[in-house]
Chains A and B, each alone.
Chain A
Amino acid sequence: MRGYIAILVDDLSAMIRSWIVWSWLTLTLLAGISAVVVSLAYADATSFILAWGLVLYIGLGSFVVIIIAANAASGELTYLGDALMSRSLTPMQYVLAKLTSRLLTVLLLFLGVVVPVSFALIFQVDDNDLTRGGISLGLTYLGLVLALLVCFGVTLSTVISNGLLAMALAVIVWYLGLGGYAIGNARDFSPEGVLGVLPLLLRGQFSMAENWSVLGLLILIIGTLVGLSMVLFAKRDL
């Protein structure tokens, strides 16, 4: 446990010092403030504006998340065995600490900006079409999607020693999957069409019974990736 905590604290400190993290945070904060300002003029399309913001966050933010996640272990493999794993540390503790740290970083970056912006839209924009339940479910979905990406990136970084290769592979697989999903779910290729059901979800027009299975599936995939990363890493010679 102490090995897990030592690596977790060390990795979180590294994340706090990362210029990528601070640049992305600044960029998304500016974008969030802009979204609130724009929404003041288009109250009846608030769900549409927020949905676009979220889709852009996933689209562009995925790249940042891949950089954060796919470098988790591969960036350290040159010295990991001699400097750290030769101490009182197990592969499981190491991978779990890295996963926790990168998940916390990514989710705090996401929720720390998107939650205040979403609720600013509800409370600041008169006659907006958002519901709290819709926002909560929408953010849960996107949070799980980002968590899945983090786990995928960390899993790749435990098996691929070259950090750049791990990132490149993650980018290719993720964006192909994301693109395929978006095209498959788009009603048509218009600004409204490509958002799929997300605006409806944010407006509260959904059935919870239908969403449980999708949420469960996402959690199952995340759990599988966590297990896989630990098993694959434990099999490596360090």
Chain B
Amino acid sequence: MNAIHTENLTKIFDNRLIAVNRVDLSIPQGTVFGLIGSNGAGKTTLLRLLLGLHRPSAGTVHVFGEPVGPQTARLRQRIGFLAQSGAFPPNMTAIGFLDLVGRIFGVPKGERKARLSALIHAVDLLSASFQRISTLSTGMKTRLGIAASLINDPDFLMWDEPTVGLDPTGRKYTLDLIRALKEEGKTVILSTHILPDADQACDQLGILNHGKLIFQGTATELKRIVQRNVVDLALIGDVDRLLHSIATEEEHLRCERISDEIVRVSFADGRNLSSDLPRLLETVSRHDVDILSVRTAGEIEDAFLKRLEDDRVRGFSRAYGVHKRHSAPKEYPDNQEPQ
């Protein structure tokens, strides 16, 4: 069963700004879905449509098989939402806000206190729990939002930019938490423009560009768009001799020194990385050079940018085609004037 199903979902603000443009989206239950896109791509608006906070200008939204709207509080009972804006009642304390959210969800008092305590500890806000929210840092507000989204033990989480403002530890904790939630069978939508986060945490990705869903599939499928067989090697030793040797012996490899330690190796198109990479590593080891790390080079970013570029070119071609059709002079039979 799908946790989310939208058909032709469209949102137009003030009859001029198309924030979400005919989005058809299906997310099966238990999936971690990464909604990626540049700033202003329409990610937040799409999430608000899925929650029933915005009314669609056209199309439909179904959550757990039921249509969503402002009055469907029963559906929102199963959803945990983290907003990107960090908008909270500024004069409330962190613990007061969590308690209010728990009361809105109807969590019984005893259970509410226990969950409050556990969540405040888990997001490391114990020392700030009686501080007014307006005095909290961006990262603390994000952690407060994460705690609020979990207080009702939801089946479905929608997190909008959950790693913004977090330090590396907080970011790692959040990504680990997403994986743990997936293991519990929860469905998660992770909206982000930090692509490595989406790559690490998500089963499926969707790219939103100017309100349009231009890609939906796995991270591997996305990376296939660029199909660049590139690896970055961090090396210590006589790197110059190694590069000279590779240049003369290995025709299908192209090496580029990125920094003193990092060498970017590109494999020729059509080569099989799984057989060529061990050969490369063997060559390196023969030249008395130690390998500090091996990693694939910026694939998801490249694939994302390639997809955006493809969409831009397609949009231009469409617009050009339309323009040509409209501007082409009409031909009329001889002696026949247009009506």
Contact = CB atoms under 8 A, between A and B. Distances in A.
* A pairs with B: yes
Interface of A: 2-3, 5-7, 9-10, 76, 78-79, 81-93, 234-235, 237-238
- Most chain B beta-carbon neighbours within 10 Å: one of A7, A9, A10, A234: A10
B97 A89 contact: no
A6 B97 CA distance: 11
A83 B83 contact: yes
Nearest to B55: A237
Interface in B80-111: 81, 83, 85, 87-90, 97, 100-101, 103-106
Contacts of B97: 83
A195 B70 CA distance: 47
A43 B202 CA distance: 82
Contacts of A90: 70-71, 73
A33 B21 CA distance: 65
Contacts of A79: 85, 87-90
Contacts of B308: none
Interface in B103-131: 103-106
A91 B73 CA distance: 9
A88 B73 contact: yes
Contacts of B148: 83
Contacts of A86: 51, 53, 76, 79, 81, 83
Contacts, number: 81
Nearest to B85: A82
B104 A237 contact: no
A86 B79 CA distance: 9
B89 A87 contact: no
A79 to B, nearest CB: 4
Given A2-B106, A89-B104, A83 B54 contact: no
Contacts of B100: 6, 10, 84
A91 B74 CA distance: 13
B85 A84 contact: no
A88 B106 contact: yes
Contacts of A235: 55
Contacts of B83: 82-83, 86
21 contacts: A2-B104, A5-B103, A6-B100, A6-B103, A79-B87, A79-B88, A79-B90, A82-B81, A83-B148, A84-B101, A86-B53, A87-B81, A88-B73, A88-B77, A89-B76, A89-B104, A91-B71, A234-B70, A234-B71, A238-B53, A238-B54
B209 interface: no
A140 to B, nearest CB: 34
A79 B70 CA distance: 16
A2 B103 contact: yes
Interface in B33-61: 48, 51, 53-55
Given A86-B51, A86-B76, A88-B74, A7 B104 contact: yes
Contacts of B90: 79
Contacts of B152: 87-88
Interface in B173-191: none
Given A85-B53, A86-B76, A3 B104 contact: yes
Contacts of B54: 237-238
A6 to B, nearest CB: 4
A78 B89 CA distance: 9
B38 to A, nearest CB: 21
Contacts of A5: 103
Given A2-B104, A90-B71, A78 B76 contact: no
B328 to A, nearest CB: 41
